[in-house]
Amino acid sequence: MPGFEFFGALERAEVQDVLDSGVLMRYGFDGMRQGHWKAKELEQALAKRMQTSFAHTVSSGTAALTVAMASAGIGAGDEVILPTFTFVASFEAVLSLGAIPVLVDIDDTLTLAPEAVEKAITKRTRAVMPVHMCGSMADLKALKAICTKHQLILIEDACQAIGGSYDGKPLGSYGDIGCFSFDFVKTITCGEGGGIITNNKDFYTHADHYSDHGHDHVGTDRGAEKHPFLGYNYRISELHAAVGLAQVKRLDDFLAIQKRHYHILEASLKKLEGITLRRVPDGGVQNYSFLNFFLPTETLARKAQKELVGAGVDACFYWFDNNWHYHTKWDHLKELHSLGPVSEEIKKRVLNEETQNFTASDHWMGRTVSCLIKLSWSEEEVAHRATTLHRVLDTILTEA
């Protein structure tokens, strides 16, 4: 991770096909495009790889989340349960539909704690959205049982975990609908783009129409298409889809490289007393895009991250203080700093979130250090990184 590290001839060839046709838009211009339909091809490849009946591509991971929720009928006043550790796009997508993001605690999976989800459910709750952060997944079996019990929709935000699996199913395919991001720093990239997968035909049809101004896409005359319901523009372009088409063909190769690099680094940690790895639920296989581990205390975690970066272990993160990914830095959400007015329902629920106690999340995130796994490392670079990782952490733990 990320896929841009291995841009090559396959990506250039797919993009050149689009440029040669002269059609950059995914819809229409049938005669000009010379049979080239990159977005359609990407959707077919994605559905096949993810073992789902349907796939639909859009302009970003944020768009994927927005369209997925809209396609499932989520809107004004509905509550969607989210983890305290995610990217800001998760709650942005919820708010854009007039729905209400409800933050709940994570556990040692670094994702939604099922018991916290159960406690947060109200009569307004419509969906639970686990976010498979840093390459691994939530306790999906437990979350699915909760959703079944309360008749809720299970939406998998697998934007950071494409290629992982749970109970033999690709992440994103276990719930009712799953979402991916194909932005520039994801395991496979379109530059900008996102994907939705589902086995629900109605959700797919809704997504297809909603993401293109409500067009029903019946027939070959775009100007004659009808609009069965309101929609917006979340279309992917053919240029972006072309890059993604090349990259999705390489996904399993990328995963194999990440797994090899991950296990070398992981082995260097297993020799250290006081270091524990993030829990991967039974039946789960991560995509190995991050090595996530816990230090004994928050103070040691902060020190470890700083000293690892100082020793040359780049792309090493302390998420607790990150502006984008953890609740402690989301004042713009907690205080509803909006350019326009928001509904009273959102105000009542979200403004109350600020007073909630997320010490259970802080217990885990405060002690977490995450190291990105790069595809382009040489064998020597991986070995050196493993040695440095062990040396720095061993010194910190010994001196503690």
The side-by-side arrangement of strands in the sheet containing 165-166 is: 169-170, 165-166, 284-285
The Cα 208–Cα 25 span in angstroms is: 15
pLDDT tens digits along 295-306: 999 999 999 999
Query: For the chain, how many residues are written?
Result: 400
| Structural fold of domain 3-250 | Aspartate Aminotransferase; domain 2 (3.40.640)
Half-sphere exposure of 121 (CA within 13 A, CB side): 19
Q: Is 172 left (phi over 0), alpha (psi -120 to 50) or beta?
A: left
Cis peptide bond N-terminal to 2, omega within 30: yes
CA 216 to chain centre: 28
Q: What is residue 115's predicted lDDT score, i.e. its pLDDT?
A: 98
Closest CA to 306 of 214, 182, 395, 196: 395
Domain boundary assignment for the chain: 3-250, 252-399
252-399 sits in which CATH class? alpha beta
In this structure, the dihedral spanned by the alpha carbons of residues 123, 112, 252 and 293, taken in order and rounded to 10 degrees, is 170
Residues forming a β-bridge with 327: none
**What does each C-alpha distance from 132 to 81, 149, 179, 259 come to in angstroms?**
14, 22, 10, 17
Q: What is residue 18's predicted lDDT score, i.e. its pLDDT?
A: 97
Q: Where are the beta strands (DSSP E) in 59-171?
A: 79-83, 100-104, 125-128, 153-157, 165-166, 169-170
Q: What is residue 356's predicted lDDT score, i.e. its pLDDT?
A: 80
Q: What is residue 219's predicted lDDT score, i.e. its pLDDT?
A: 93
Report field, pTM of the whole predicted structure over 0.75? yes
SS3 117: helix
Q: What is residue 352's predicted lDDT score, i.e. its pLDDT?
A: 82
Closest CA to 137 of 116, 103, 114, 153: 114
Q: Would you name the residues annotated as active-site residues?
A: 186
Q: Which residues of the chain have pLDDT under 70?
A: 353-355
Place of tokens 């995914």: 26
SS3 195: strand
Q: What is residue 400's predicted lDDT score, i.e. its pLDDT?
A: 85
Q: What is residue 357's predicted lDDT score, i.e. its pLDDT?
A: 86
